[in-house]
Amino acid sequence: MPAPADGVARAAGDPSRRTVPGSPSGAVDRSAVDPDRMRARLAAIEPTAVADPGAVVVVRAPGRVNLIGEHTDYNDGLVLPAAIDLEIRISLVPTRDRRVEIVLDATGERAGFDLDAVIAAGPARRGGFVDYVAGTAWAMHEAGMPLRGFRGILASTLPQGSGLSSSAALELASAWALSPATDPAVDALTLARICQRAENAYVGVACGLMDQFASSCGRADGAVLLDCRSLEHRAVPLPLAEHALVVCHTGSERKLQASEYNARRAQCERAVAVLAERGLPVRALRDVTPAMLDGLRGVLDDETFRRCAHVVGEDARVLATIDALGRGDLLAVGRLFAESHASLRDLYEVSSPELDALVAIAEGVPGVVAARMTGAGFGGCTVNLVRRDAVDALARAVHSEYPARTGLTPRVLAVDPAAGAGIAAPTDPTA
Ligand code: GLA
């Protein structure tokens, strides 16, 4: 496929937007999840898909960007993610034999397990994508949910390991695939929590709820604010008539992510323990007020203090961003994104030179309203709010400046908000 002049890969369904950027690795190939193609691939491994096409079910689960509220979810704080139209799909035929067999469309890799064996064994990782599926089955059973076996083909438009929540999307897609009824017997938020449990207890990453929440409860009309303590959530409209959400991918592997992530979380928990020991009314860093923080300089060691300062500031920035979006004050949104990025870089220390370079390049492009790293960090992606007429200029700047600065090939993806996980409409490749 020829590279478009602007180098922007667009994820949405309009064929004119299904273009690929300058490097093959950056392609968003929507044909990967085309329903006819997936049905044909499924028929090749599961003959009943041919005999009874009506028995084929296609489930989908989206990735996410987080607009702001980073490393706050496991501190009982606030997050503002949007599910996006890059997603995982499983095309499947349900079976009665309690076996799950999945083939990865991209590589042909095949994996499977017996549902009852997984339930009996409890958390026992094997390594690889199947852990997310088996972990979800285990967590669903633990929550009292019924399960079914299936034969399925798994395809994805979501770059794996890029900080766009491919793990959560895999868990949510698995949960829908494993549910015997037309939808899971629990609401979308409860399902997100069950999938988070799969990731925490089975896969072994101590993540918060944000990613599973976004993949399960996302909305096609914007972002969703989640209070990670009360679990209250509400839609937050984004100014997408004149602006686009653009993801810039560093092209770098996320290094040390799981261990550093778990270490940050442990640091936050230790800080809470110290504060509680001193009699402060603190259950989580969510409870630390800016005034309280000032008094903690000598009490916490410098590094722990900086971690706390990030979380306290970031919670406030989420509220300020929602306020600014409501007022249409995009200058303020830009300032808040910049402050969030600086805080993640300097206080929480989860950014990387590559993420910093992408943000610096974006900030130099007129029409880029806001830019910051998104997700856990240590590589992955930035999220940008960009005037629609400036998206091409951003892509050109990133493609021309970033490789020289880092030696890496970036990807620039224009994305749209998407609905949370569910059954895919039979003819709609983008849902
Ligand atoms: C990862 C985790 C989330 C959240 C973010 C950082 O994406 O899965 O729970 O903690 O990092 O905001």
CATH top-level class of 248-415: alpha beta
As annotated, the residues of the chain forming the CATH 3.30.230.10 domain(s) are 6-68+84-236
Distance 248 CA to ligand 1 centre (A): 18
Strand-pair category, 99-104 with 110-114: antiparallel
Distance CA 29, CA 71 (A): 31
Is the Cβ–Cβ distance between 77 and 314 less than 8 Å? yes
Q: Please state, for a pLDDT cut of 90, what percent of the chain lies above it.
A: 77
pLDDT per residue over 223-275, tens digit each?
999 999 999 999 999 999 999 999 999 998 766 577 899 999 999 999 999 99
Q: Which residues contact 84 (CB under 8 A, 6 or more apart)?
A: 11, 62, 63, 64, 65, 164, 218, 245, 247, 415, 416, 417, 418
**Atom in ligand 1 nearest the alpha carbon of residue 205:** 8
**Residue found under tokens 């909305």:** 219
Q: What is the CA radius of gyration of the chain?
A: 21
At 47 the pLDDT is 81
Mean predicted lDDT score pLDDT of the chain:
90
Q: Which residue among 79, 162, 197, 210 is best mutated to probe the pocket of ligand 1, counting the most ligand atoms within 8 A of its Cβ?
A: 210
* Torsion sign (Cα): 273, 280, 74, 378: negative
Tokens standing for 293? 């923080």
In CATH terms, 6-68+84-236 corresponds, of 3.30.230.10, 3.40.190.100, 3.40.47.10, 1.10.8.60, to 3.30.230.10
Give the residue range(s) of CATH 3.30.70.890 domains in the chain: 248-415
Structure confidence by residue, pLDDT tens digits, 140-194: 999 999 999 999 999 999 987 888 999 999 999 999 999 998 888 899 999 999 9
- For residue 410, what pLDDT is reported? 96
**Angle at the Cα of 182 from the Cα atoms of 179 and 188, rounded to 5 degrees:** 70
Task: Identify the residue whose C-alpha is closest to ligand 1 atom 8.
Answer: 207
Cα–Cα dist 363/367, whole Å: 9
Place of tokens 């509680």: 276
Question: Which runs of consecutive H residues, i.e. helices, occur in 10-90?
Answer: 35-45, 48-51
Pocket of ligand 1 from Cβ distances under 6 Å: 66, 70-71, 73-74, 207-208, 210-211, 375-376
Q: Give the separation between CA 405 and CA 397, rounded to whole angstroms.
A: 12
Annotated catalytic, 211? yes
**5 C-alpha to ligand 1 centroid (Å):** 34
Catalytic residue among 73, 85, 131, 211: 211
Structure tokens at 111: 């994996």
Mutate which of 68, 170, 211, 381 for ligand 1? The one with the most ligand atoms within 8 Å of its CB, which is 211
